[in-house]
Amino acid sequence: MSHTKELFRRHPNNPIITVDHLPYPANSVFNAGVTEFEGETLLLMRVEDRRGFSHLTVARSPDGVNNWRIDPEPTLMPDPVEHPEEIWGIEDPRITYIEERQEWYILYTAYSEAGPLVSMASTRDFKHFQRHGAVMPPEDKDAALFPVRFGGRWAMIHRPVSTFPSVAAHIWISFSPDLKHWGDHRVLIPARKGGWWDANKVGLAAPPALTDEGWLILYHGVRTTASGSIYRLGLALLDRDDPCRVIYRSDEWVFGPREEYELFGDVDKVVFPCGWVIRGDEVRIYYGAADTSLALATASLSELLDWLKHHSRHWSSES
Ligand code: BMA
């Protein structure tokens, strides 16, 4: 049964940031990492230039809705000299604040000649960035770190793609003693099959968020149709102490393209968040709309968790 009430409410100012807001010419601004920095909402936005290559630019706002101040120049450019894997740009950052290190860690897609891969950078001020290089070989993307360790090990969610065409693209989890060497890889959230909205291809959207019930996961599912792909969002919940255990996974999508700015753009029918801000009961997702602009939608955390519990009938933690 479908829910009658929409759980996410779109902001009336949507799209909140478009290419016209940028202080320099570009093609599009979309898929942004999100964090809170010095009391403001900070977006690390993917900007695609007019060659087709992406870089990252910071936007800050006191209330997360209005008065965005955008860096006058690109904040983080690809560095193909030191990092040849960034030759065709850097995309889709996900930001995790790691309290233990007092630093923000950013996992992003580096577009290499061998395909997209996962790269890592860290920063304390969103002005200076330390690059840690490629952490997963191609093809792999849609990655984020957990902010804490599990049994002494760091954990990362990511989405490798098999070279076997018949194998679906699943969400995986991997562990590391030092944020450099990764192993103990396993499938976390498999793409479903057949007619499901999230059949064949899924990927993490925002970084995992700790709630009283466990780690809340927002992920995208891709439906392939005769007129192209549809990118929609679903929810899952992971055990607080053992993030390999998926407690719930929504049967239905929770948010999908509906408004004109989501339906039509460089890539039609895409909603693509790379981050969220959860403060008290309010959840704000900042999402790329149709690979063209940035939009905002809000929800209630307790309503999302409640909905997830009641819409996970086809999922059991034993499966
Ligand atoms: C995915 C990523 C995203 C993009 C989406 C829709 O594979 O490349 O950056 O928003 O496709 O085009």
Q: What is the pLDDT of residues 71-94, one digit of tens each?
A: 999 999 999 999 999 999 999 999
Rg of the Cα trace of the chain? Answer: 18
Residue with more model confidence, 308 or 318: 308
CATH number, domain 26-318, options 3.40.190.10, 2.115.10.20, 1.10.10.10, 3.50.50.60: 2.115.10.20
| Per-domain boundaries in the chain | 26-318
Q: Give the total residue count for the chain.
A: 319
pTM of the model: 0.96
For residue 3, what pLDDT is reported? 47
Share of the chain above pLDDT 90, in %: 94
Ligand 1 centroid–CA 108 distance in Å is: 12
Which among 304, 221, 299 has a CA at the least distance from the CA of 257? 221
Share of the chain above pLDDT 70, in %: 97
Ligand 1 centroid–CA 130 distance in Å is: 25
Q: Is the pLDDT of residue 106 over 70?
A: yes
- Taking CB atoms and a 6 Å cutoff, what residues make up the pocket around ligand 1? 31, 91-92, 231, 267, 270, 272, 288, 291
Ligand 1 centroid–CA 239 distance in Å is: 28
Q: Is the pLDDT of residue 57 over 50?
A: yes
pLDDT range class, residue 164, cuts 50, 70, 90: confident
Q: What is the pLDDT of residues 226-271, one digit of tens each?
A: 999 999 999 999 999 999 999 999 999 999 999 999 999 999 999 9
For residue 1, what pLDDT is reported? 43
Q: Which of 3-7, 96-100, 308-312 has the lowest mean pLDDT?
A: 3-7
pLDDT range class, residue 165, cuts 50, 70, 90: confident
Q: What is the pLDDT of residues 172-227, one digit of tens each?
A: 999 999 999 999 999 999 999 999 999 999 999 999 999 999 999 999 999 999 99
Burial of 61 (0-12, 13-18, 19+ CB in 10 A): middle
Mutate to test the pocket of ligand 1, among 47, 92, 171 (most ligand atoms within 8 A of CB): 92
Question: What mean pLDDT is predicted for residues 4-20?
Answer: 93
For residue 187, what pLDDT is reported? 97
For residue 317, what pLDDT is reported? 55
Mutate to test the pocket of ligand 1, among 94, 112, 231, 293 (most ligand atoms within 8 A of CB): 231
For residue 251, what pLDDT is reported? 96
For residue 166, what pLDDT is reported? 83
Ligand 1 centroid–CA 177 distance in Å is: 30
For residue 316, what pLDDT is reported? 65
Q: What is the pLDDT of residues 120-149, one digit of tens each?
A: 999 999 999 999 999 999 999 999 999 999
Q: Going by C-beta distance under 8 Å and a sequence separation of 6 or more, which residues neighbour residue 154?
A: 145, 146, 175, 176, 177, 178, 179
Question: What mean pLDDT is predicted for residues 46-57?
Answer: 98
Q: Are 152 and 116 in contact (CB under 8 A)?
A: no
Rounded CA gap, 285 and 276, in Å?
Answer: 4
